[in-house]
Amino acid sequence: MNPERIAACLAIIVVAATLFFVTSTPRTVAGNVTIPTSSSFHLVGERDQAAGTLRLRFDQSVPAGTVLDVDVRDDVLSERPEQREARAKAGISASYSRNRDFLDPNRDFPFGDFGTFAAYDPGADDHFTAGIRLSPFRVLYGTTAADALIAPHRLGLGLSFYAPPDLFGHVFSHWGLGVGRLWGFDDRPEANIIYLSFSTATY
């Protein structure tokens, strides 16, 4: 088979698989009301720890076949307003407790919490440095990462700061601001830097 036929076969397979697996329109949280939420604070996060716990309390018998749909986005649980009204009339209360960890070790290091950084670097010829950042842990409830910085001919350490995703959304939880110091090889000068960081981690 020539490359054109192989490409055509792959395209057909991708389209067919897409049509086979896409079965419904995704729900959105537009117009939803949030489920009452609290936080449970811990000193150190556990491996395989749940992000939080949804508790449903039934104060009276519930008919068989009763269905409750809870939507989840950025660790925020919500439901349709009409469901909340029906749930309250049926004697079903709902609450959600998030788990918050002061120290969250990255047990999959060097993976799990890694990404890139870009900095203004007064010691570089073009005053710009970019590289890879790795973090062995986060503190202050997922908002502060201790970073190992790797750049061409340089190594460094830093701290980067991220916004909580349940307050600012999932996009900003991946982008942070950092401060650090780089040490160079081959007579490259040391430098204190302020950097923009990107993390693949979800907190």
**pLDDT in the model for residue 123:** 67
Domain boundary (68, 101, 134) is at 101
Report, in this order, helix, strand and coil percent for the chain, each rounded to 5.
15, 45, 35
Predicted pLDDT at 197: 95
Residue 165, domain member (yes or no) = yes
Copy the structure tokens of residue 3: 């490359």
Q: How far is it, in rounded angstroms, from Cα 189 to Cα 152?
A: 13
Does residue 4 lie in a domain region? no
Residues of the domain holding 185: 106-199
97 and 143 both lie in a single domain: no
**Where a domain ends, among 78, 101, 124?**
101
Do residues 81 and 112 share a domain? Answer: no
pLDDT recorded at residue 169: 73
pLDDT of residue 78: 95
Q: Which H/E stretch holds residue 44?
A: strand 37-44
Flag residues of the chain having pLDDT under 70: 1, 23, 123-124, 203
Confidence at residue 17, expressed as pLDDT on a 0 to 100 scale: 78
Give the tens place of pLDDT for each residue, 21-58: 776 778 888 999 999 999 999 999 998 889 899 999 99
Does residue 150 share a domain with residue 85?
no
